[in-house]
Structure formats: C-alpha cells, structure tokens
Amino acid sequence: MLQLALLLVVAWLPGAVIFRLPFLDRHRRASLDPDERLFWSIVLSLAVSLTGVLILGYAHRYSFTRLLIANAAVTVAIIAIWRNRLWLNPPSRFSFAAIVPLALVLLCAWRFSPPSEYVMGGRDPGVYVNEGIQIAQRGAFVVEDPVVASLPPFARDLFFPQHHLPDGTPRVDYYGVRFMGFFVKDPDSGAVIGQFPHLFPASIAIGYGINGLSGALRAVTAWGILGILAVYFVAVRLFGRTTAAAAAALLSVHVIEAWFARYPNAEVVMQALLFAALLANARAHVDGDRFFAPVAGALLGLLLFLRFDAVIGVGGLFAGVAVGMIGGQKPRRSLFVAFALFAVPAVYYFFVPMRAYADLPIVWISAIPSWQLAAFGLIAAGGVILLRTAAMRPAVGRVLVRYAPLVLAVTMCVLAAYALLLRHPGGKLAAHDAYALRTYADFYVTVPALLAGLLGFVLHTRRSFWRDPALFITVALFAVFVFYKIRIVPEHFWAARRFLPVVLPGTLLFVAAAASGGGGGGRRMRLLR
C-alpha cells in the first residue's frame, strides 16, 4: 500500500489537480473521455516529477523525500487556491471503449515483463540504470569520487589515461573514463558524470525511490506502456477507436516494442513523450483547447534532456504549427514560452556539464557532405518564403492548402521507391545506410506491410492532414532522417532502437488506417460504444 501511495504522489496527484485548473478552456477538457483524462493526469504528473528531479539533481539536492514534498506542495497549493472550483463533472455515460486502453495496459504489463536486469553497467542500458541509481543514492548528476580525487597526478594515467582529440591535443570537455559510460570531468576534485542525458535516469531514480532496484528496472516497462497509450490516443483523435485499437495492439506485440520495453533505453521514453506532445499540440491548435499549448511546449522541452535526436521531433511539431497557419490555425504563444523555459537551461546543460555528449551530433553533422547541408538549408529557406508568401497572399495560401498534402505524399513515395529499389552503397555511403529501408522492411515489418503503411500515409495525408499536420510532418521527418543515415553499426541489437520512437509506431498506425479506412465509424465502432 505504501508503494501505491508513493506512485500516486509522483505519477497521478499533481497532474490530476493541474488538469482541473479552472481556466484555459476547462470545459473542453471536461468533454474528453475519462480514459484520456486519466492519461493526461499521468503525463502531467510525470512531467512535474521529472522536472523536479532534474532541478534537484542539478543542484545536488535530490532525494525522493524532497520530490514527494515538492509534489505534495504543488498539489496542496493548487487545492488551497482554487478549492471547489477544481471539481470536474463526471462523464455523462459509461463507454465500453474505455475497456480498450485498460486491455492494452494489461497486455503490455504481461508482454513487457520481466525487465532486463542491467545492474552492472557497461553499454547503454547499464549506463542509464547506473546514472539513475546514482541520482537516487547520491542526489546529483555530477558526483565527486574520492578514489579519483585521491590519486596523485603522476599515477592518473595508470588508471584513467587522459583522452585526446585526433590531432593529439587533450580534450577539454572531460579528462578520461572512470568506468564505461562515466567521464572524469575534473581529476583534482574527482568530479564524474554519466555519458547520457538525465531525463530517463531521472525516471529510474523515481522508480528506485518507490521500490528499490526492482522499481528502477521497471521504469522502462512503465515508459513502454505509456508509449502505447500515447500512440493509441493520438490515433483515437485522428482515425477513431477501431484504427487506434488495431495500431496499438500491433505495436504492443511487435518484437521491437516488446524488446525495448524491457531493455533500458531512451527511445521508448521519446515515443511516449513525443506522441503525448503531438496529441497536446493537436488539441491546442486544431481543437481549440488553450490548456494543451503549454503542455505541448513543456513536453517538447523535457525531450531536450533525453536525446539529441529529439530535436527532430521538436522541429516536426514546430513545422506542423507553422504549416497549420496556412489552414487557419493560429499559433499559441504559450507553446513557445513553455518550450523556452526548458530550452534555455538545456543549452547550458549540454554545453557545460554534458559537453562531451554534445560533441556527438557535431561530429555527425560534420560528416554530411556540404552540398547536402546546403540543399537542406535551401529547402528550409524555401519553406519559410512560401509560408510568408501564403500569409501575405490568400490565393497562394489556398493553393498550398490544397496541394501541400499531395506534395508531401508524393515526396514520401518517391523517396521510398528510391530507397527500396535504387539506393546502393558507394563512395561515403555505407551499406547499412544504403539498405536501411530494405533492412527495416525485410526484418521488422515485411515489404507488403511497409507498402500498406505508405498507402495509408498517402490516403490520409490527402484526407486528414489538416486535422494534425504536425503528426504527418513528424513521421515524415523521422523516416527521412533514420533511413538516410541510420547512425549506428549494422547490428540489429542496436539499430532497431532507431525505429522505435516514431518510425515503427507511424508505420503500424498508417497500416491500421489503411486497413480500416480510418473513419472511426461503422458497425465496429458502434460495438465499441
């Protein structure tokens, strides 16, 4: 019972009261189905809790008790200020459709258990687990190792040699390696920091506070379940519950999802938070609920503390907001304000304590041929010019509203045909990059399923693009990015993670949409109701 109470304080209570705040179109939130209300209470609570862990951990003041006190203080303050105004009317009627997310949770809890017992460190999963437990036990991202500090300078190279750049100059972002995945920042003070950003380890620290090592290991399982639910609710809004249930069920039993929902990794966290951000953005900019604009911004901001390729999701969502202006969707300033509150400290975070990690994307970008970077810049500039022209000339805007979805669909078809049929290694193009889409199709979804997903994307880009432009653009951006350069050695054990955040959910979502029609009506939907 104590563990359940602790779980409620960190994963439900703050979000439940925030969701009920009596402003920013609360009547729209009150009209949501009860299962989606509960989903948002959980997502908001986790956002509050993770933000608290990041702040306290950076300040060297984290403890699970302090986190509980902070969450309780937020909850009590909101209740004290608004009191009876926090009451939401209960749903007018029970819907059997609420059974679907419950069934998904039960299926995933069985399918994603037991978690992998990575407790010894080494490789990515062990580093994540040990970073999280380090936060839980030591209360900080950067810890002072007395063993490192006690070594005299003449003996340091015997235990952790200083690392150098390729030109032979010593590195300035870190000194050497204490253990695999843990860098010595300052050998004099013994400062040591983990290799990876700390959002996922923050959730591991929370799990450790609730149930010790078992709770820490099950953090990834919880993220896997939340990711399935996030994909489900995005699909419910856009395609209806029949398509959503099919897509979420397919994703739940897929080998990539099942494997990495047991295996500590950051991609499963990105899946959950990014799809939740996409849903919040659609609720804010298409459905007119102002409350969800800062929610989307905050979730995007948290993603910056997860992985560097989260910027693709940020770019996709912001591009969707910009394109939505053509269709009459007014951007909400609170989205950008909330994002900036996280983005500004994230810049400092990556260029000071996490400077070694920030070098990875810099190296990756430097390997891209200059003509490709120039082409990307021209495409981006052309898009900005088009949007500006559409804003000034309504006739141009009407043309873009009609043909922009078609252009996106045709572009994805052309790129897919090229990658499947014509792309071959040569020059600086490695084999695993050239054959990335073929590998994905042959090993993970089959070619017919890939073609069905592409068909669903084409059909619903024409039919539903303006109901959620950010979703379509984000799926397209991730597909182009991953299949252009998969960025990992050609081993399935590692490469499959790249498909997890968006590519795999997007594929199965559009496969289900192509199979069911994506209308959300008909006899099957009436049975769910």
Residue that wins the pLDDT comparison between 121 and 416? 416
- Residue 121's pLDDT is what? 67
User: When comparing pLDDT for 527 and 311, which is higher?
Assistant: 311
Judged against a pLDDT cut of 50, whether residue 529 lies above it is answered with no
Cis before 170? omega within 30: no
Of 206-220, 276-290, 316-330, 427-441, where does mean pLDDT reach its minimum?
Answer: 427-441
* pLDDT single digits (tens) 421-464: 999 998 878 888 899 999 999 999 999 999 999 999 999 999 99
Q: What is the dihedral of CA 203, 204, 207, 209, to 10 degrees?
A: -100
Residue 512 and residue 250 in contact, taking contact as beta carbons nearer than 8 Å: yes
Tens of pLDDT, residues 132-168: 999 999 999 999 999 999 999 988 888 888 888 878 8
The Cα–Cα gap between 225 and 227 comes to: 5
402-405, long-range: CB < 8 A, 24+ apart:
404/323, 404/326, 404/465, 405/461, 405/462, 405/465, 405/466, 405/472
On the CB side of 398, CA atoms within 13 Å amount to 3
| Mean pLDDT along residues 43-60 | 98
Contact yes or no for 358/350 (Cβ under 8 A): yes
Least confident window among 198-202, 475-479, 495-499: 495-499
Residue 439 identity:
T
pLDDT tens string 89-142:
776 566 778 899 999 999 999 999 999 988 876 678 999 999 999 999 999 999
Note the pLDDT of residue 93: 62
- Which residues are CB-neighbours of 478 under 8 A, at least 6 positions away? 312, 313, 316, 501, 502, 503, 506
Strands (E), 138-227: 142-144, 176-179, 182-186, 191-194
Higher pLDDT, 504 or 379: 504
| Cα–Cα distance measured from residue 310 to residue 316, given in angstroms and rounded to the nearest whole number | 10
First-to-last alpha carbon distance for the chain, in angstroms, is 34
Region 368-385 average pLDDT: 84
When pLDDT is cut at 50, 70 and 90, the band that residue 523 belongs to is: very low
Asked whether the beta carbons of 332 and 293 are under 8 A apart, the reply is yes
Q: What are the boundaries of each domain within the chain?
A: 98-114+218-522, 142-197
The pLDDT confidence band at residue 518, using thresholds 50, 70 and 90, is low
**Lowest-confidence segment of 118-122, 327-331, 380-384 by average pLDDT:** 118-122
Q: What is the pLDDT of residue 427?
A: 82
> 105-119, 306-320, 342-356, 428-442: which range is least confident on average?
428-442
- The mean per-residue pLDDT over the stretch 190-207 comes to 97
Q: What is the pTM of this model?
A: 0.95
pLDDT at 380: 84
pLDDT over 70 percentage in the chain: 96
Q: Which of 169-173, 174-178, 473-477 has the highest mean pLDDT?
A: 473-477
Q: Which two tokens stand for residue 177?
A: 């390696």
pLDDT at 13: 97
The mean of the pLDDT values for the chain is: 92
* pLDDT of residue 319 exceeding 60: yes
Residue 9: helix, strand or coil by DSSP?
A: helix
Q: In this model, does residue 488 exceed pLDDT 70?
A: no
Q: What percent of the chain has pLDDT over 90?
A: 73
User: What was the pLDDT predicted at 210?
Assistant: 98
Torsion of the alpha carbons at 430, 431, 437 and 440, rounded to the nearest 10: -120
Residue 252, pLDDT above cutoff 70:
yes
Q: What is the pLDDT of residue 524?
A: 44
CA distance 377 to 372: 9
Helix (H, G, I), strand (E, B) or coil at 377: helix
